[in-house]
Structures are given as C-alpha cells and as structure tokens.
Amino acid sequence: VVYEAANPQEFWPDFYGNLADAFEPLETDGAENVTFFLQPGEGYEVAPDAGTAEVTYYDSLADVPPSTGGGNSSIVVGVTASETELIETEGTETTVTFTLSEPPPPEGLTVFIDSGVDPVVGSSLSQFDVLNAEISGGNFPIPDADASGFFFTITEQTATITLSVFDELSVDTALDPDNFQEGILALDFALQPQDGYTIDPDASEINFRIFDNPDSKIQVGLTASTAADEGSTTLVEPEGTVSIHTFSLGAPPPAEGLTVTVNASSLSDFDLDAIEVTGGSIAAVRDDGFDLTITEQEATVSLPVLDDGVDEGSETAIFTLEPGDSYELNAAATEATFTLVDSIDQLSVPEEVEGNDTLPEANALGLSSDNPVVSLSGAVNEGFLDLGEDVDFYSFNLEAGQTVSLDINTEEIRPETLNFRPVVFPAFEDILQKPDTELRLFDEEGNELAANSDGAAPGEDFSRDPYLEFTASEAGTYYIGVSALGNRNYDPNVEGSGSGWTFPEVGVFFGDYDLTATLVEGNGGGTGGDLTGTDGDDMLMGTDGDDLLDGLLGDDTYTGGAGADQFVLGIAQGVDIITDFEVGTDQISLGGLTPSDVKFFDLNNDTLVLTKSNELIGVVEGVTGLYSIFA
C-alpha cells in the first residue's frame, strides 16, 4: 500500500511538464490489444482454459466502440450502498449494488463511477480494502488514472461489490496517527455518463461518511493565499493586498454550522472593516483572533492588509487554528502564514521557482536594509534538465561596501523519498544521501566574482554545504548560482551548459536545500583604501589603488584588486586567504611576527603560510615559490 498526501496524478505533469506532451503522439496510435499470461509457479498450476486475459487499450473514452451485442442507451443504471457510514477501526463492510433496467448485452455493460473528492490521505479508492472485494455479476473493477473512481463491466442485471473500509493505521503501526487521520470524511461516488446506458436520477450516486473511529469529529484545515495569486502569501501594505484564509472541512458541517477559533496576534495589521466571508460568518472578534461559524464544506475569509504608513521592514502574520470540542484539526494545515512588506522592493520568494537556470530567469531574493535576512527552500533536481545540469539562480542588490553572506544547508535523506521514485541502486539503499552543492556569485555581466564548494559557515563544523561572503566594490545587481557538486564551469547565461556529479556510494547526491542570505552593513567587510575587519570572518575587497587589508580575528578573505596592496597575517588571528596576490607588487604584513618566524609550504597551486610551530595563519591562492614578500 502506498500512502500519498495528494492526488498521485498531479506528480506526472508537475515533474515532466511538457515532456509528456512531446511524447503524446506515441500514446494516440489507436486501439491496442494486450495479452496477460499467468505464469506457472511453485505451489500452483495454471488452469489450461483460464491462463490468459486479453485487454484492449483505447486512447480515450471517445474511441471505445459502442456495444454490438444488443446493448443500447435505453438501459437505465442505478447504484446504491447497504451501509454509508463506515468506521475504519471497525472495518465496516458495505455492499455496492448496480441495478440495470434490463439484462446487459452478452459482452457486458461497462459503467464508470467516479468521486470528485481529494482525501487528505491517499486516493478515493484507497479508503477501501479493494484488493479483498467480493464481486458478483460483473468483472473485477478497473481503477481510473488517479484512483478516484473505476470502470465496472456488468454481466448480469444485478451486480454487487462487497468490500470493507480500509484503516491505514492497521498496516503499519509506525505511522504517526496525527498525519493519517481524517476525522470524518465525506466521500461521494457518482455514476458518470457514457454511451450504452442512461443514469437513474433516483440512484445516481452514493454518499459515504467515513470515520477514523467511533469518536471522530469533522476535521478542519486552514491554508493561506492571496486574492491575486493563490500561490502567494505575501501582502504589500501600500497595495492593500487581500489575504485569503481558506477553511476546508472533511465533511459538510451540521445544519447550525461549525464554529472554529482562530488565534491571530497580528490582527491589528489588517483592515477588519473590509473583511468578507463566504461559506460562513464571523461569530466573534477579539484583539488576538476571531471565531468563524462555517456553514459550507469550504469557507473563506478575505482580509486586506492595512497600510499603517510605518516603515517596519518585513513582518510575519500567523493565523492559527485552535483545538475545539466539536472538531478535529488537520495536522498538515493548522496555520495560515503571511509575509507583510512595506513596499514591493521587500518582496522575496519563500521557495525556488523553476526555471531559474540563467541570470535573466533568476528569482529575486528581496534582500534589502529593511529585509536583511531572507531564507528559502530550493532543489537541485527539477525541470527538464539532467539532474546534474540544474542551476538555481537568485538575484539581489547591493550598495558599495555592503557585505552579503550566503549559506546553504541540507539534510541527509533516504534516497527512495526523492520524487516518488527509486534513485540509487539497491546496494546503496542503507546509505544516507546528502545533497552536495556549489555556490558561484556573478555580476550583471555574468563574470564570476566568488565561489565556494565546501565552506562551513561561522559556528559550523566542516561541512559539504557551501558558505560564501562577498563585499560589493560597487553598487549593482548580483547573482548567486546553486548547482550540484562539480557543476562549477557552466555559462550563467546558457541553460544546461554544465554538469555535476553524484556519488551515491558515499552519500553524495542531489535534492533539497535551504538558502539563507544575510545582509551586513558596516561590519564584516569593506571596500577600498585601508580596510579593517572585525573579530568574525570577514571579506575585504580593495580598490585599484594601494590598499592595506587587516581582518583582525577570524578567518578572513582578502581581495586586493589592482595596485600595490598589503595583507595582514598574524598569529592566533585565524586563517586568512589572499585571493589575488601579485608577486613583485603585493606584500604580506606580519602582525606580531618577523619574517624569521614564518615559513612557506607549496600545496598544489597555492602557498600555505605557517609559523615555525606549524600554525597555519594564511593561504595565498594561485601562487607558489614565495620567499621575500614581506612589508
């Protein structure tokens, strides 16, 4: 049994997109006959007269030929159920009866019954123990594409399907009941029109009510959106953006309605005079929330944000469903969270929006002095590109002298949880996989200004997650690219121009990440002239003149630029990195040391600067063979 929190059909177009459309001609080539063979096996024999089954596949319902055995649309079909209130913990059994007004044609009459309900857990059919169903007067039903209904070929004038309601928690006791409980679920199945029959208007549908247990109550969920964009939860105060609070019930409420309580400490940030409600009414308003009486299975509260005229930067408003005696909470939808901003400039994306594989397609972070910290989630594994080719670009604006830190964090995951499909060989199934990413920072022209693959953020131990600090030498728009390990030579203006690596045998893979961008003004970096850092990890960038760069404590990064620059290295002051040392022009200034106190060691294309006691105090990148370079 597979448990899913959404309609499984949605995965295919979401993941493959137009790729499915591109191959559609292969799927519309007329009727095809497919034969299934029952193979011999240990412990049983195959009946000689019942070992095969032939099935005809059609491109659409419209292509299915009409009955040739005497069937016609004068046959009236009705459907009823013996029990409509089913309790999962008790395994309630029900018999669904299909009745025809006259005998079906010799080959049978195929009817289609469907449900428009999208349950919290699984599909409509997965609410029943369908594999143990008992069939009389017809063939075993065939589910439709999204398991919301089924096709049933009826061979007798009366046909029945007897089956029990399915209890998800009876299969795997390790499941969290809070995530697999639906309270009371209203599940309606209705006969659908097709050639060959008409539907009895007095017996056209079945209305089930499925209870988790005898004490179950109607479950309530709360989700957030805006009137202009159902995928957005950002409210711009000067525009009076209307927040939409959608309350969804698992079953219709009682006639008198169902009253729920909502806590909202930021209610004063909204224009209560302009509130609008559908599917219910406001029962009470408090300083920290309100009560809503819901009279339909879905109710909405439309509430505009209030423009208070005060520049407060980015704020968060949370509306929380509180528990009640007359209802249950949908554990996956108890809050509606909105981001409030004073201007459009403060807008940022809460998660990556594909495709953002080139600089012009970059997602705007909305980083600013009023919104100095932005966090979002993304994934190196989406879109139409090969997984190793995917690059996620984000843009932000910096003033000269502003420093931004960019921190990636990932988690170890089991490979089978990625995109509902196996992703590594079974030999690696016990190895935890961790996304391994790289960061590259570009200017508006696509020139790389900084990069990092495995740099732990301040306060972190060594990590495969990259961290980058950058100080702008001039005002402009900058771009950060997130890519898979090894994808470090791509052209930022050409989609799919690079490629990365995965090593599942050692746990290096692709997947989800969190990106946090933090703006630091006046500290932790600088540009031009004589630059002094802080006791943290700083990034100092010089000018085209002669600069002195002293990072003080911390692991600092120096970029001198043109001119004759001096870089300060000192004992017990961290490990400083010099990125652009020019032999014969630039010099190293030793803080508290003399030239005789240090030594050099060539490592690949870099030079390590160590004390006589082998304390590493600096790394000169891209240079070897250093001797007399001291100020």
Per-residue model confidence as pLDDT tens digits over 229-253: 887 888 999 999 999 999 999 999 9
**Stretch 605-621: mean pLDDT, rounded?**
85
**Stretch 412-418: mean pLDDT, rounded?**
58
46 assigned to some structural domain: no
Residue 336 and residue 368 in one domain: no
The answer to whether 551 touches 617, Cβ cutoff 8 Å, is no
Give CA 223 to chain center in angstroms: 16
Strand 158-164 relative to strand 93-100, pairing: antiparallel
Residue 509 and residue 557 in one domain: no
325 assigned to some structural domain: yes
Which range is most confident: 6-15, 163-172, 263-272?
263-272
Q: Give, for 107, the enclosing helix (H) or strand (E).
A: none
The CATH number covering residue 424 comes to 2.60.120.380
The pLDDT score that the predictor gives to residue 19 is 38
The pLDDT score that the predictor gives to residue 526 is 44
Tell me which of 72-76, 356-360, 403-407, 590-594 is least confident: 590-594
202 assigned to some structural domain: yes
Residue 444 lies in domain: 348-520
User: Each residue of 24-65: pLDDT tens digit?
Assistant: 444 567 888 889 888 888 889 888 888 888 888 887 767 777
User: Following DSSP, what letter does each residue of 226-271 receive, concatenated?
Assistant: ESS-TT--EEEGGGTPEEEEEEEESSPPPTT-EEEEEE-TTGGGB-
Percent over 90 (pLDDT), the chain: 38
20 assigned to some structural domain: no
The answer to whether 335 touches 318, Cβ cutoff 8 Å, is yes
The pLDDT score that the predictor gives to residue 598 is 82
Strand 539-541 relative to strand 434-435, pairing: unpaired
Residue 198 and residue 297 in one domain: no
The CATH number covering residue 151 comes to 2.60.40
Residue 81 and residue 193 in one domain: yes
d(C-alpha 611, C-alpha 598), whole Å: 4
Average pLDDT across the chain, whole number = 82
The CATH number covering residue 268 comes to 2.60.40.10
Could you count the other beta carbons within 10 Å of the beta carbon of residue 528? 16
Residue 122 and residue 138 in one domain: yes
* Sign (positive or negative) of CA dihedral 313, 318, 319, 322: negative
The pLDDT score that the predictor gives to residue 5 is 32
Residue 577, both tokens: 């990195």
The pLDDT score that the predictor gives to residue 558 is 87
587 vs 157: which has the higher pLDDT: 157
The amino acid sitting at 425 is F
Residue 358 and residue 501 in one domain: yes
Residue 494 and residue 558 in one domain: no
Residue 196 and residue 226 in one domain: no
Boundary residue ending a domain (298, 327, 344): 344
Task: Examine the pLDDT at 1 and tell me if it is beyond 80.
Answer: no
The pLDDT score that the predictor gives to residue 529 is 55
Residue 86 and residue 202 in one domain: yes
Boundary residue ending a domain (314, 344, 374): 344
Residue 355 and residue 419 in one domain: yes
543 vs 144: which has the higher pLDDT: 144
Residue 225 and residue 246 in one domain: yes
The model carries a pTM of 0.56
Residue 206, both tokens: 């079945």
**Stretch 374-398: mean pLDDT, rounded?**
79
61 assigned to some structural domain: no
**Stretch 514-542: mean pLDDT, rounded?**
69
d(C-alpha 240, C-alpha 306), whole Å: 6
Boundary residue ending a domain (344, 378, 394): 344
**Stretch 615-619: mean pLDDT, rounded?**
87
Number of domains observed in the structure of the chain = 4
The pLDDT score that the predictor gives to residue 173 is 54
User: Each residue of 155-184: pLDDT tens digit?
Assistant: 999 999 999 999 877 775 555 666 667 899
170 assigned to some structural domain: yes
446 assigned to some structural domain: yes
Q: Which of 264, 278, 273, 261 is nearest to 338 (CA)?
A: 264
The pLDDT score that the predictor gives to residue 247 is 97
Residue 516 and residue 373 in one domain: yes
547 assigned to some structural domain: yes
User: Each residue of 434-486: pLDDT tens digit?
Assistant: 788 899 999 999 999 988 887 767 766 666 788 888 988 899 999 999 998 88
Task: Examine the pLDDT at 12 and tell me if it is beyond 50.
Answer: no
